[in-house]
């Protein structure tokens, strides 16, 4: 049958379902659902109207973060709105008075942001992030426990590791794989 609904890949099973799943590669859509239908076993679905997005690729992950930041979905963001800015910063942040905020962004708890930093629209900064002096960040996601070196420039990127001083990352990913 054809439908305009999609399978989100979120399943709740009774333990007995595992007796129908064989070892090795097993595809629910091609293997399990047809088997259960042939055996006339009940399959139930929940038709949801709530927000959902597949964050299985970088663009969708970034869009999900933006949807939360810009209020398309209701997410509790901890912290206080900073003076003269649309930025919300969580507790125990040390933000130099020379930092310039443009547009909407969010900063996690216990962050340290140095002198002459520019944090531009659409930026999400995790907890315990250290941003050194003269850094420019625009429309990027900085994961927790990250250090951004002096004079780095980040635009439309996802960062999950230390960024060396003077490094520029545009439309990229930077991670430390251990």
CATH numbers and ranges of domains, the chain: 80-175 (2.160.10.10)
Order across the sheet with 80-81: list the strands.
80-81, 86-89, 104-107, 123-125, 141-142, 158-160, 173-175
Cα 148 from chain centroid (whole Å): 18
- Per residue of the chain (178 residues), what is the pLDDT tens digit? 567 777 777 888 899 998 999 888 988 889 999 999 999 999 888 888 888 888 778 888 999 999 999 988 888 888 999 987 899 999 899 999 999 999 999 999 999 999 999 999 999 999 999 999 999 999 999 999 999 999 999 999 999 999 999 999 999 888 876 6
């Amino acid at each position: 049958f054809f439908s305009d609904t999609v399978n989100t890949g979120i399943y709740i099973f009774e333990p007995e379902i595992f007796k129908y799943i064989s070892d090795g590669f097993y595809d629910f859509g091609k293997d399990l659902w047809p088997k259960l239908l042939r055996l006339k076993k009940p399959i139930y679905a929940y038709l949801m109207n709530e927000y959902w997005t597949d964050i299985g690729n970088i663009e969708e992950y970034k869009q999900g973060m933006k949807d939360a930041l810009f209020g398309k979905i209701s997410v509790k963001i901890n912290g206080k709105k900073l003076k003269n800015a649309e930025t919300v910063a969580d507790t125990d942040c040390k933000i130099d008075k020379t930092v310039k905020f443009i547009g909407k962004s969010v900063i996690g708890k216990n962050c340290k942001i140095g002198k002459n930093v520019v944090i531009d629209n659409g930026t999400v900064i995790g907890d315990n992030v250290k941003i050194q002096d003269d850094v420019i960040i625009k429309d990027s996601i900085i994961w927790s426990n990250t250090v951004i070196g002096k004079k780095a420039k980040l635009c439309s990127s996802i960062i999950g590791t230390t960024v060396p001083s003077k490094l520029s990352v545009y439309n990229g990913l930077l991670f430390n794989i251990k």
